[in-house]
Structure 1
């Protein structure tokens, strides 16, 4: 494996939970010698790709990765289009709004809009990969990918049980994806975090492909039938607005 490939392997590993690992763990998981791993991490640290926590002796992704991620999402045409829509939905619903992107075989959190004290206000997960069996945005993304491709992905990943309600049976998960496709949105009831309720919708590009999704997350206590119906419709309208603008972007 070339040095560039080794460095990218380290960055990809730090992009997955738990997002922070020590030198020994990184070397073992990526399959690189400890001394070689250290040299690569030092090079990445100097360039701003990773940050070392001296007290914990661990590494996590640095600010340059986030900046590159922002450049990518702007290149895809989603950022400047989606953010005003997300802001408007947040204002109308008084709930937290997130936008996620599908890249390769994973879902990544790209943007969020939330008020102080609301769900996700103090949680920094932007740029991180999301489990495809939990969370309305990731579920909406995975559901609209090619089913055969998703089956192959599920054969390779271990499904995390975040709460007692998280689906970890792969056949059940595929059935849930089918339900999401049929109704056009995902519903997440304490599947990602206990006490949270989310709904998510796909965003279609001009080729009718789905590589982005938008979700609303609220305290479960506020998820009345009338609110859920309203949230779904507002999200659908917002997703259509983003989709229509994306179709004229490229």
Structure 2
């Protein structure tokens, strides 16, 4: 097996739960020797395809691979389809709006439209996975997947608090998923980033499945009770428009 093939096998492994592995775990999973595996990982780290955590020494996918996920989202056309809706919503709501996709048991922001100085304006979070127990879009996308698969995924993940408001109890997370499915939207109130508030709605495909979400993010102090229902309806209308365009294109 060539070094290229081995490198691709490593990347495939890191794309599967639990998404981060020690050198020994990777050697066991791939059947490669630790010495050869370490050399390949070093090359992947040098090019930012793989990152090693300082504390746990585990490896996970790096920013280049996540950026490639953004390219993939462009290829399936979601950015082109969503751009008019995102531009309109950004102007009307006056806040950052973005599309997230569900791919390989993970949620990724795929494209965004920011108001100058708004949240995520200076932070290029596109292509970076969001914890399914923290971000509004990630929670929503997880809530609409197969329940048994998500339960298994939660059991496999090392759920850690991103902020003091992040829920890590699996039973509580599953309860929130049920609420999300029932009400048709997800809210993030500082559970992913302190001082930030987000609202997310599903984009249904022609089969009634959800693999994309439309969200708005704003500073928490900018959100008021009277704004939330207005934003929610605007997002739902935008999600319906994007969903219709997706069905027409395919």
Q: TM-score range by the shorter chain?
A: 0.7 to 0.9
Specify the alignment match of 1:248 in structure 2. Answer: 248
TM-score in terms of structure 1 length:
0.82
Specify the alignment match of 2:123 in structure 1. Answer: 123
**Is 2:26 the partner of 1:30?**
yes
Aligned residues: 238
- Measured after TM superposition, the shift of residue 117 of structure 1 is 1.8
Specify the alignment match of 1:217 in structure 2. Answer: 217
Specify the alignment match of 2:238 in structure 1. Answer: 238
Specify the alignment match of 1:160 in structure 2. Answer: 160
Residues 14 and 61, structure 1, Cα contact 8 Å, conserved in 2? no
- Measured after TM superposition, the shift of residue 219 of structure 1 is 0.8
TM-score in terms of structure 2 length:
0.82
In structure 2, how many angstroms separate the alpha carbons of the residues matched to 1:117 and 1:86?
17
- Measured after TM superposition, the shift of residue 16 of structure 1 is 10
Residues 11 and 61, structure 1, Cα contact 8 Å, conserved in 2? no
In structure 1, runs of 5+ residues without a counterpart are 20-24, 53-57
In structure 2, runs of 5+ residues without a counterpart are 52-58
Specify the alignment match of 1:22 in structure 2. Answer: none
Higher mean displacement: 78-87 or 33-42: 33-42
- Measured after TM superposition, the shift of residue 97 of structure 1 is 1.2
Q: CA RMSD in A?
A: 3.2
Specify the alignment match of 1:50 in structure 2. Answer: 49
Residues 38/218 of structure 1: CA separation in 2 closer, same or farther (3 Å cut): same
1:202-226 Cα distance to aligned partner (Å, 9 max, x none):
1111111100111111111111011
